[in-house]
Structure 1
Amino acid sequence: MTGPHIAVVGAGFAGAATALHLVRRGARVTVLEREPIAGAHASSQNAGMLRTAIADPALARVAAAGADGVAAAQALSEVPLVRPSGSLLLAQGETLEPLRKVVPELREMRRSARWLDPAEAASRVAALAGAPFEAALWTPEDGVADTAAYLTALLLGARRDGATLRLGTEVLGGEPGDGSRPARLETGRGAVEADVVVIAAGAWSDVVARRIGATPLGLTPLRRHLHATGPLAEVDPRWPFVWALGDEVYFRPESGGLLLSPCDEEPFPPGEPPADPQNRALLARKVARAFPALLDLPLMRSWAGLRTFAPDRRFVLGRDPRAPRVCWAAGLGGHGVTCAWEIGRIAAESALGLAPAPAEFDPARFPVPPP
């Protein structure tokens, strides 16, 4: 290839999808991943749910396109990437109106959605008997991704088309470059020069920016817990994933039992966060309120992962106005699996100067920090 050389920092969903879209547009791509395996953190420590009913219209548009992109990625994999389970979002009181606004937007994006009353929802998912909600939004095209298979497909596709993946290669320093000089990344395995650097390092994105002389954007990693039961006779593996809005707790079938999260958010430094044993008590309180039929679940395993947010909780995508050779694909806030394909397209086209990122995600929306 004779196109520009792009260095992508991070081999999770954002980095992998960006790399794939870059090589398909003629770029020479080097992906630098600090860990010995790709997707070791947020990309593998999540529930894998493809959710398209999102209150923020800007995020919802990316989610719909991203979910469609999973179907395109299926051509890169010999195993199914998605189990089309559908989803049920439960609402009552003040959570109803924001969800009502989502429905016409979903239909505009050609996604199916309809309302179910509590009796109809409980007929689909027996665990909702006695649950305190007024209505449920049924989105049949949502599903659960095989996150390992999806990430592997993206990376395999990128490598087949010419991208180079360098694992165990942490960015330790460097320079962001300027109009006349390429960016330079110092790693434990030598220096890398690039026409553009894409920061797609998840919880480490601000760390990488600081190390290469770019301006951090105030991204905050937040710890969230997941809990799994063993096999449960009462669980139907065909159930959709179920999310109680307001209480903010969800469950979905997994390995004959249930996978659940209390949707907790606690600032935590980049790394591998330990699970807090007290989080099980939070889950129990939320389940008791939202899903009383699921009281006293026998939890077998708990773990935690990081979800990284920008200050306004929208993605950060596109060229950095203060460092013209730096492009961002960060702050995905737990939407990486659903949105990866579209995020990769937006970031790749911005990095190559083919199209700007949508203004809602532009890094320029953040003020320049004081010196």
Structure 2
Amino acid sequence: MEEIGTLIVGGGIAGLATAWHHARAGGEKILLLESERLLGTQSSGRNAAILRTVGPDSLTTRLSLRSAQVLRRPPAGFTQVPLIDPCGLFLVADASHRARLAAWVDAAGPDSGGVEVGPGEFHRQVPFYGGEVDRVFSFPQEGRLDIAALVAGFAQGARAAGVTIRRGVGVKRLSTRGDRVTGVELADGTNVAAVTTVVAAGGWAGRLGEAAGSRVTLSPTRRHLLISAPQASIDPKWPVIWSLGDEFYCRPESGGMLVCACDQTVVDPSDCRRDDHVRELIAEKMLRLLPGLGDMQAARFWCGLRTMTRDDRFVLGPDPDLAGLFWVAGLGGHGMVCSFEIGRLAARRLQGGEPISEEERALDPARLVEASA
């Protein structure tokens, strides 16, 4: 049986970005396995498609800002359509969260592109918003992401660089010999041997690693999204609104509004079902925060997975205990925005890039094991 050089488990944004960068940097014999018939249909395909670079963690913000530069000007041949619709984004805070918002923006530095605007100017541009507005920052170059184009760009580029992608192939478990991961056993009982196995399986990554003996732990969580029924009064060019304090975001979508109440509940990734109580929470926030749009009715309501770590940072690098196992997981809802940086850092470490930078060390899986010990 021929041994694969790098076997990537997962065809979402983590696996595809890793494959694209690794192959372009000279990686050979790369195989990517995806259990679904289509790529990017789990966490990658069920998110809000929002480009927001500034947040509570300074490292994630730096990665977001660098990745966003590439999203705005992708490599030649990556895509035939823009990856970003710069409709703009407002970060809004009530009085009790104004310092929190200021800290986010200050940590991001001048490269964030954020500009503080007064509540009056915000309401002029967003007259339908009814939440408390004490402090506002505008990010005119942020907005909506074309998820389908981003996934397709990584997949097509990876194939062109020599990556083999197999869809509809489920992985049952990681294969081990002593303290080494040697590949995977597939759902049909066959085995694939590999020098390095990359776990990029989103909500299922932690379960695969734990079953093989890894001490790295991840938490798959559920978050809901709702799209309201189309209304003639909704302008598709309106900006994204993200509110701190109310913990709420929204943007136009399909003639209605895409809305999220920022809920987060730990779940079994194989049993991620909608919770109607969250639907009621979203409806309450819509009525309170978007009064100018009237009583909006739901057209679609769904949930997706966001996989978290205990410090809310990515887990990216070799497993501290199991040789041959490499993690690209725990992206916590930032995978799309940070995709180019996630893939670049993963490829660098897969190819033995030295010295390890402070950023790479901050994302290394060993930190999670050390913290638990």
Q: Which residue number corresponds to residue 16 of structure 1? A: 16
Q: Which residue number corresponds to residue 165 of structure 2? A: 165
Does the CA-based 8 Å contact 1:32-1:169 persist in structure 2? yes
Deviates more, 1:76-85 or 1:198-207: 76-85
In 2, the alpha carbon distance for the partners of 1:156 and 1:265 equals 33
Q: Which residue number corresponds to residue 95 of structure 2? A: 93
1:119 to partner: Cα distance? 1.2
1:95 to partner: Cα distance? 1.7
Does the CA-based 8 Å contact 1:272-1:305 persist in structure 2? no
The 1:361/1:251 distance shift into structure 2, 3 A limit, reads same
State how 1:164-313 maps to structure 2 within 5 Å: 164-176=164-176, 183-188=182-187, 190-211=190-211, 213-271=212-270, 273-313=272-312
| 1:317 pairs with 2:316 | yes
| 1:27 pairs with 2:27 | yes
State how 1:51-200 maps to structure 2 within 5 Å: 51-70=52-71, 71-72=73-74, 75-108=77-110, 110-128=111-129, 130-176=130-176, 183-188=182-187, 190-200=190-200
1:237 to partner: Cα distance? 1.2
Opposite residue 324 of structure 2, the aligned amino acid is: R
The 1:216/1:305 distance shift into structure 2, 3 A limit, reads farther
In 2, the alpha carbon distance for the partners of 1:159 and 1:365 equals 33
Does the CA-based 8 Å contact 1:176-1:325 persist in structure 2? no
Aligned residues: 365
Does the CA-based 8 Å contact 1:74-1:81 persist in structure 2? no
After TM superposition, the score normalised by the length of structure 1 is: 0.92
1:367 to partner: Cα distance? 2.6
In 1, the alpha carbon distance for the partners of 2:76 and 2:263 equals 32
CA-based RMSD of the aligned residues comes to: 2.3
The 1:368/1:106 distance shift into structure 2, 3 A limit, reads closer
Deviations 1:168-227 (A, max 9, x none): 222223435689x7722111353222221111100000122134x241522111111111
In 2, the alpha carbon distance for the partners of 1:360 and 1:249 equals 29
Opposite residue 340 of structure 1, the aligned amino acid is: S
Of 339, 359, 362, 1:360 maps to 362
Where structure 1 has 5 or more consecutive residues not aligned to the other structure, the ranges are none
After TM superposition, the score normalised by the length of structure 2 is: 0.91
Opposite residue 92 of structure 2, the aligned amino acid is: L
In 2, the alpha carbon distance for the partners of 1:94 and 1:313 equals 23
Does the CA-based 8 Å contact 2:93-2:134 persist in structure 1? yes
Does the CA-based 8 Å contact 1:74-1:80 persist in structure 2? no
Deviations 1:59-90 (A, max 9, x none): 10111122123232573112222211121011
Does the CA-based 8 Å contact 1:69-1:342 persist in structure 2? no
SS at match of 2:338: helix
Opposite residue 267 of structure 1, the aligned amino acid is: V
SS at match of 1:284: helix
1:154 to partner: Cα distance? 0.5
In 2, the alpha carbon distance for the partners of 1:266 and 1:17 equals 27
